[in-house]
Structure 1
Amino acid sequence: MNDADRATDPFDDINLVPNTTEDLLNERQYLDYRSEREHCLEWLLTFGKEPERADGYAKTTVSNRASRMDQFYRWVWEQEDGYTTNLTHDHADGYLRHLAGEESSNAHKNACRKAVMMLYKWRHHRRGADEWEPEITFSQKNQSTTPRDYLTRQERTMIRDASLEYGSIPSRDNTYGDERDKWNAYLAQRFQKPKDEVTPEDWARANSWKIPSLVGASLDAGLRPIEVERARTTWVDAENGVLRIPKEQSSKNSENWVVGLQDQTVEMMGRWLDQRATIDKYDDTDAPWLTRQRNPYQSGSLRKILHRLSEIAGISTENRQLSWYAIRHSTGTYMTREEGLAAAQTQLRHRSPETTMKYDQVPVEDRKNALDRMG
């Protein structure tokens, strides 16, 4: 390769197929894997950091993480006893559990985790795969595997209460003149329709039970973002106060799950399903919750809801990484505290008790109470 070619080569200084990997592949597998790597790394360099702005990662970042992605592929092949590029969420979750058991620094483990997250980001944006969010991180301070940030018991109540304020508007019957005109303009923008076409039904729809039911179900069941996306109205068994999640729609696809719900949540779900039946965009789907754009909620849109709920509730998000998983981790933490690991394992739908063990910790408010008693 001459200097001119090298200057335009996007993979200069990036080892696409290391010798260790090449030795494992036949010729066709090698060409297939090299193509897979080229597509992925080129996207990361051009779009990976912020796809909407065509802002890619620095070449040094991609180069460092490319080698760790390659290690992940090789680990998957070992588990599957052969070559494949069909990567699943189970592969990624299993790899993190594998890393957790290795005798290596948490800095290394965290770097591997970030590399896998970049790989699945590409798969989501370019291959249409479901988004993946790891449930564990590797703390570099105490060299232990810890869950993400979670909501305290008080914050759980505050978030549930805030869901009743989310997007609410006054009763149409109690507004007149300029005030009603102002709310009509607001609803026109919210529902993307001309102001003169806003109806009394739109006023009622604005105060729907969609967000309260979504938040309630997630707080009780610790729903993962992917489970919110895959949820079906048929999961709801209001008579028995549970969600029945069939294994083919479960995140881990291992068995049927029966998950308990609070009475308050069951009532919210019932009210929302009644309202939902009157909304046209739900006519051809059994998804319980859709965005304004008629799409299922995913990690990004759920994160925005949680941050808006935190703002309504007066919960500071500064110096915290609050994603929808913060709800799930709070459910795991307090279910473990109240009922033990077995109950938390079932409620959170963990196949392995080892996964649930990371919630076997003393909540921060209990530790604060202990300090008070210690004097």
Structure 2
Amino acid sequence: MGPRNHLLPGLQYEPPRLPHPRGARESPRSRLRVRAIPKYNNLAPAERDRWKQYLAQRFEKPKSDVAPADWERANGWKIPSLVWTSLDAGLRPVEVEWATASWIDTDNEVLRIPKEDSSKNRDHWVVGLSSRTADALSKWLDERDAYPAYDDTDAVWLTRKSNRYQTSSLRYLLQRLCEIADIDTTHRSMSWYAIRHSVGTYMTREEDLAAAQAQLRHKSSETTMKYDQAPVEDRQDALDRMG
């Protein structure tokens, strides 16, 4: 979906890569990418058994055959699913905070946000997702079940400290992702709303205001009008085609 490229050039987050070969020099970027599921040696026996069950299903092998090497090759899906969902749906920070597993319909590739959970509390919303995002969410929900922190909550995403994401933690995450992508943010105001603004602008350019209004869950089309910022070159091309 277009907004991934339009948000900030180079910000196309991918699941963590495999660790560098033993003894190879590892950059901070690599360390961040490989920080995926908990390390084998950091888990208590009961936790380890729970993760073995998940990895056995994921890699389609008997639980008894799951080995420490499987922990090393298992990337995590929390951050990709969070970022890609926000890039598709233009999630507000409060929507990331309130998001529950019941919103997610991966079979139909949509988010179903009930009126009572809507940040504006006005309507039920059905928000389209790309196939890649729906697949990432499906994989994250499977992985999520292996974390004890999610046993007593329906939150889709929690921070490493088991808190719901809020504006400050999302800003920190975005800054770290920009570092990974080597994006210079020196003169940019970085916030999670930058993603939402990008979705609105790109959806308006690629489709129309009505599509952007529905995707961003705006009650009034006037709110969506601020995203109708077609570059002068695009308008000139339109005039040439009309002429």
Higher helix content, 1 or 2: 1
Q: Shift of residue 152 of structure 1?
A: 8.1
Kept after mapping to 2: 8 A contact 1:243/1:261: yes
Of the three residues 325, 334, 352, the one matched with 2:220 is: 352
In the alignment, which residue of structure 2 is the partner of 1:332? 200
TM-score, normalising length: structure 2: 0.73
- Structure 1's 305 and 220: CA in aligned 2 closer, same or farther, altered over 3 A? same
In the alignment, which residue of structure 2 is the partner of 1:233? 101
Of the three residues 34, 42, 61, the one matched with 1:197 is: 42
In the alignment, which residue of structure 1 is the partner of 2:181? 313
Q: Residues of 2 paired with 1:365 and 1:280: CA distance?
A: 52
- Structure 1's 369 and 322: CA in aligned 2 closer, same or farther, altered over 3 A? farther
Q: Look at both structures and tell me which one has the larger radius of gyration over its CA atoms.
A: 1
In the alignment, which residue of structure 1 is the partner of 2:13? 162
Report the 3-state secondary structure (helix = DSSP H, G, I; strand = E; otherwise coil) of the residue aligned with 1:162. Answer: coil
Letter in 2 for 1:303: R
In the alignment, which residue of structure 2 is the partner of 1:244? 112
- Structure 1's 308 and 283: CA in aligned 2 closer, same or farther, altered over 3 A? same
Q: Shift of residue 197 of structure 1?
A: 3.4
For structure 1, the residue ranges without an aligned partner over 5 or more in a row are: 1-150, 180-185, 371-375
In the alignment, which residue of structure 2 is the partner of 1:292? 160
Q: Residues of 2 paired with 1:368 and 1:169: CA distance?
A: 47
In the alignment, which residue of structure 2 is the partner of 1:128? none
More relative contact order, 1 or 2 (CA 8 Å, 6+ apart) = 2
| Range that drifts further, 309-318 or 257-266 | 309-318
Letter in 2 for 1:328: R
Q: Residues of 2 paired with 1:367 and 1:153: CA distance?
A: 21
Once superposed, which parts of structure 1, at least 4 consecutive aligned residues long, lie more than 4 Å away? 154-157, 193-196, 363-370
Q: Residues of 2 paired with 1:281 and 1:202: CA distance?
A: 22
Kept after mapping to 2: 8 A contact 1:156/1:219: no
Of the three residues 127, 130, 137, the one matched with 1:259 is: 127
TM-score, normalising length: structure 1: 0.49
In the alignment, which residue of structure 2 is the partner of 1:268? 136
- Structure 1's 268 and 157: CA in aligned 2 closer, same or farther, altered over 3 A? farther
For structure 2, the residue ranges without an aligned partner over 5 or more in a row are: 25-30, 49-67, 239-243
